[in-house]
Amino acid sequence: MNPHDPETVDARLARLERLVADLQCQLAERPARPASAPFQERSASPAFDQAELPPRPRRARREPAPGWQMNWDGQLWLNRLGIGLVLLGVALLFRYSIDQGWLTPAVRVAFGAAAGAVLFGAGLRLDQKRAFGAVLAGGGIAAWYITGWAAFHLYGLIGYLPAFAGMVAITALAFGMALLRGSPILAVLGAVGGLGTPLILGVTYGSPRGFALYTSLVLAWTTAVYLRRGWRPVLWTTLSLAWILLWVYAQHLPAGAALRAADPWIVQAAILFAWLDLGVLPLAKRVVDFRGAGQGHERHWKHAEVAHWYALALIPPHAALLSSAAVWHPQPEAWGWWVMGAAGLYALAAWALHEPDPRIARAVLFTASLLLSVGSVAALEADALIAVFAAHALALHVVSTRGGGVPARWMAHKVFIVAGAWMLIRLIENGSPSAARALADLAVLAVGLASAFLVRTPRSRLWYLYFVHVGLLGWLWRGLAPLDGGEGYATIAWCAYGLGLMMVALRRGWPLLERTAIATLMLVVAKLFLVDLAALHALFRVALFLGFGSVFLVLSYAFQSWWKPARAEPADPAPGAPSLR
């Protein structure tokens, strides 16, 4: 077709005219715009002025990027980096001045104090709502701490008591500014400086009992700040430093005649106070707040919440017990009983908190379980220890079914894995087992069987049952093999056990148990060939082979009619239905 043909051009123009007419008809049939919109009314009027158009809407702001970019503040980080570089530059300037001999020690100390005052004053001048002020004020407080340390430790310009008093004053100023401006950064800096003052100035200049009392006062203050403001960084800073300091004080107690009778008791009292202050009060505050809110059912905790509360329940008791051991140097058995006593207290606390705050109760129960495990290892011997581990696992399974939740169930599995693996290792070891050892291993098997009926998932139940099955075979072999002709007795016991499983499986219609019983009987045959042929007397071997062969043949025919339940006869099919016979 030629596009320049006149007829073709006329046809195309006619077609376009028809399309335009159709579009005009469609536009005429569309409903008019609502009269309530003032912008549409002005645009429809003939006197509409383009200058009266409203401003074009701005683009929607881009959503913040997920992850760490949501909390990114470039200005704040540049400010912190700038403060760090300024402090580093001042330190390098000090070092250079010392190398050149320009500044005397007094001038250096005065310069450091002045630099801290400048930074602190600049922080006060900034608006309280901006984070820069807290950063600058924190830099000034850090400069004062460093200056005080240098004045006492490097240059000896002031004595120990003035230096200690100056550090305490700086700490009080840091906490005061933190509460005044609502800055957790300053509170953390004050906690680090206040608790670290004995280490900064040296623990050899004072007595452990004096440092213990001082640390208790700082702990009381920092915990009060946490309870008032809820600043977790302050709590964790205190928690991290307090136990290190108390352990150091316990290690520096004087020995021999220099040790006063009250010194270890004062340090021990400080340890108990820290336990209550850092391990009990925060949990109690959480319970009181939860009950006061009246929330009823609480949402699942996120990973940060789980780590916070479980660590807060776990760390203080373990750290307190280790610090107490550093004070008194007890025997492992005695220390184990201390730990088990603490486990009992935490178990009672978990029971009491189950109704007021179930989640905190589970965290406390988890702590009690771990304390019991640690104390049992330290205090008990092999047979008693494995029996306690088995009873511990069973108790946790019972608690998990009565509201203990996932933590109790998880701990129950782990404790039983330890007890079960240990029992299997004991069965493999050489030597004749004692009655106490056999009873302890049998207790583990009994707990495994009971746990199979307490767990919820079929897979876990199957794992427990198979453990009991394998463990019982090993227990029978281990107990009968040392006897005269014991290998044969063990084989007979295995066969009787396998036949019992077979009868139960056929009567109840359990295919998996039936396959397990057949595997057990195959294991009996394998033992006959691999072990009994070499270990037993010739007549005993003949009796075993003839006896087992006869039993297997008879029961292979008898099982079908004796133990297999009769199948129900199918009902007569309905008229017109196909027959199933």
Q: How many residues does the chain have?
A: 581
Torsional class of 381: left (φ above 0), alpha (ψ -120 to 50), beta (otherwise): beta
CA distance 468 to 423: 11
pLDDT of residue 74: 55
In the structure encoding, which two tokens stand for residue 185, read together? 């950064």
pLDDT of residue 244: 93
Q: Say how many C-beta atoms besides its own lie within 10 A of residue 226's C-beta.
A: 26
Residue range 265-288, pLDDT digits in tens: 999 999 999 999 999 999 999 999
Rounded to two decimals, the pTM is 0.74
pLDDT of residue 489: 82
Q: Are 211 and 244 in contact (CB under 8 A)?
A: no
Q: Say how many C-beta atoms besides its own lie within 10 A of residue 196's C-beta.
A: 17
Q: Are 491 and 503 in contact (CB under 8 A)?
A: no
Low-confidence ranges of the chain (pLDDT < 70): 1-11, 28-80, 82-84, 86-87, 90-91, 93-95, 97-103, 127-132, 256-258, 294-298, 430-432, 531-581
pLDDT of residue 557: 58
CA end-to-end span of the chain: 78
CA distance 432 to 174: 69
CA 341, chain centre distance (Å): 23
CA distance 182 to 229: 8
- Residue 135's Cβ-count burial label (10 Å; 0-12, 13-18, 19+) is buried
> Would you state the torsion angle of the CA atoms of residues 38, 44, 46, 48, taken in this order, to the nearest 10 degrees?
50
Q: Enumerate residues 6+ apart whose C-beta is below 8 A from 450.
A: 394, 397
Q: Enumerate residues 6+ apart whose C-beta is below 8 A from 301.
A: 309, 359
Q: Enumerate residues 6+ apart whose C-beta is below 8 A from 246.
A: 212, 215, 267, 270, 271, 274, 323
